[in-house]
């Protein structure tokens, strides 16, 4: 039956039928939408259900996320609290890279292993008390070999103690909107019921690490590498072997981190990149390690099958806009950020057009980075999003002397 005939019949059956038909149409419209846009710098994940497809995921929970925009392409029990095991280390790595960005530590800076760090059980790289390793080596030990001892050594080096470092981890989790997460250690060794996360929260912190610090993939994609232990006993080689077997199983895999304990079962946060689209597939509490990787691969293949990304990286364009009352009469502008748009429909991304709209009147003073307009993007008549247009430099307000000088230059010279 056509929609026109359907609504006509509803009209004859009275107000209740009309309301039901309206709700059905409303639902049909919104569930058919498979697109989203995002301002990249905000790094806010956007929860959009684009498919009701059943991928047959047997693991307890999962999330498939497009990394640039944070669009959720698929999920199962995404907010259910689960034990994270060594996936905890994603947050540890995120804080390490933040410290590197701030200049508080450097890659070649030496870190001394404490007796407490050495005492860590589980997965480790067998650091000795007093052993010195640089930050870059310890990053490799954490992300490639999942070394608990390396994790604690870095936590103590950055924050003075593991406890203080964990407090920072929980602060960062709140900042990212990880509402179903609480950490009790920096490595994931804890089997406490108070050490938990969710598939969605893992995707959030994975995205933050991967998008803000893409260099992490230089380390998470290492398959095997040796490090050198230097202690009072002499030097010895130790081989790091990546716990993420998806690197060999799936050609587009770039990382990121695995985890497993008897309580958490088998987990993975898998990143991949294909055709400039980066996806994050999180699988939690898989029954065995083979299922962990096979279901992550299933999610990634599904994502690349439905996901297309439009990206406008042309942030600089030769545009100047007029300023009233400034020491300069005009200022150059640029797009604040790269525009990205994720589509899961058959729409033609080659037909995207953009329109620049400036504020009606710009009056000095203005600061570099002030918003002076926007670039809006369209497919046909449909707006798919925008980015702000900002000033490339500051312009001060003209004083009396500046005004006289401009008058003299314009009308006399």
Q: What is the CATH number of domain 61-306?
A: 3.40.710.10
User: The whole model's pTM is what?
Assistant: 0.79
Judged on CB neighbours under 10 Å (0-12, 13-18, 19+), 315 is: middle
What pLDDT does residue 35 have? 39
Q: What is the pLDDT of residue 44?
A: 52
Rounded distance between C-alpha atoms, residue 85 and residue 95, angstroms: 18
The order of strands in the sheet holding 330-335 is: 316-322, 330-335, 382-391, 371-379, 353-358
> Which residues of the chain, if any, have pLDDT below 70?
1-52, 318, 400-413
Question: What amino acid positions are annotated as catalytic residues?
Answer: 86, 89, 146
CB atoms within 10 A of CB 169: 25
**Is the Cα dihedral 195, 200, 201, 206 positive or negative?**
positive
Kindly tell me the burial class for residue 412, based on how many C-beta atoms sit within 10 Å of its own C-beta (0-12, 13-18, 19 or more). Answer: exposed
Q: Per-domain residue ranges for the chain?
A: 3-32, 61-306, 312-412
Three-state secondary structure call for residue 141: helix
Architecture of the CATH domain 312-412: Sandwich (2.60)
The whole-angstrom separation of Cα 70 and Cα 99 is 24
How high is the pLDDT of residue 346? 85
């Amino acid at each position: 039956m056509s929609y026109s005939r359907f609504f006509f019949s509803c009209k004859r059956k009275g107000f209740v039928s009309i309301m039901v038909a309206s709700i059905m149409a409303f639902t049909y419209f919104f569930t058919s939408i498979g697109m989203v846009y995002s301002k990249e710098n905000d790094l806010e994940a956007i929860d959009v259900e684009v498919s009701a497809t059943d991928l047959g995921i047997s693991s307890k929970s999962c999330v498939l996320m497009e990394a640039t925009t944070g669009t959720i392409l698929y999920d199962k029990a995404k907010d259910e609290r689960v034990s994270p095991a060594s996936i905890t280390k994603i947050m540890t790595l995120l804080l390490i890279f933040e410290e590197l960005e701030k200049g508080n530590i450097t890659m070649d800076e030496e870190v001394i292993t404490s007796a407490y760090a050495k005492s860590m059980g589980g997965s480790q790289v067998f650091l000795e008390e007093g052993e010195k390793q640089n930050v870059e080596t310890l990053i490799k030990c954490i992300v490639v070999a999942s070394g608990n001892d390396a994790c604690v050594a870095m936590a103590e080096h950055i924050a003075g103690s593991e406890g203080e470092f964990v407090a920072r981890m929980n602060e960062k989790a709140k900042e990212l909107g990880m509402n179903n997460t609480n950490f009790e250690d920096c490595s994931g060794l804890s089997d406490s019921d108070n050490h938990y996360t969710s598939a969605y929260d893992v995707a959030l912190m994975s995205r933050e690490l991967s998008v803000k610090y893409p260099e992490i993939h230089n380390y998470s994609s290492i398959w095997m590498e040796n490090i050198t232990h230097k202690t009072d006993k002499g030097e010895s080689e130790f081989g790091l072997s990546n716990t993420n077997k998806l690197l060999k199983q799936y050609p587009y895999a770039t990382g990121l981190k695995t985890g497993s304990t008897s309580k958490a079962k088998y987990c993975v946060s898998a990143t991949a990149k294909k055709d400039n689209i980066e996806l994050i597939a999180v699988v939690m509490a898989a029954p065995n390690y083979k299922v962990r990787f096979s279901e992550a691969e299933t999610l990634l293949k599904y994502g690349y099958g439905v996901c297309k990304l439009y990206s406008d990286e042309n942030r600089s364009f030769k545009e100047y806009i007029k300023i009233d009352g400034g020491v300069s009469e005009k200022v150059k502008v640029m797009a604040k950020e790269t525009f990205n748009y994720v589509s899961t429909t058959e729409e033609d991304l080659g037909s995207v057009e953009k329109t620049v709209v400036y504020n009606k009147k710009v009056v000095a003073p203005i600061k570099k980075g002030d918003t002076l307009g926007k670039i809006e993007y369209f497919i046909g008549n449909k707006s798919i999003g925008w980015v702000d247009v900002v000033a490339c430099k500051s312009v001060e307000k003209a004083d009396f002397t500046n005004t006289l000088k401009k008058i003299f230059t314009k009308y006399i010279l």
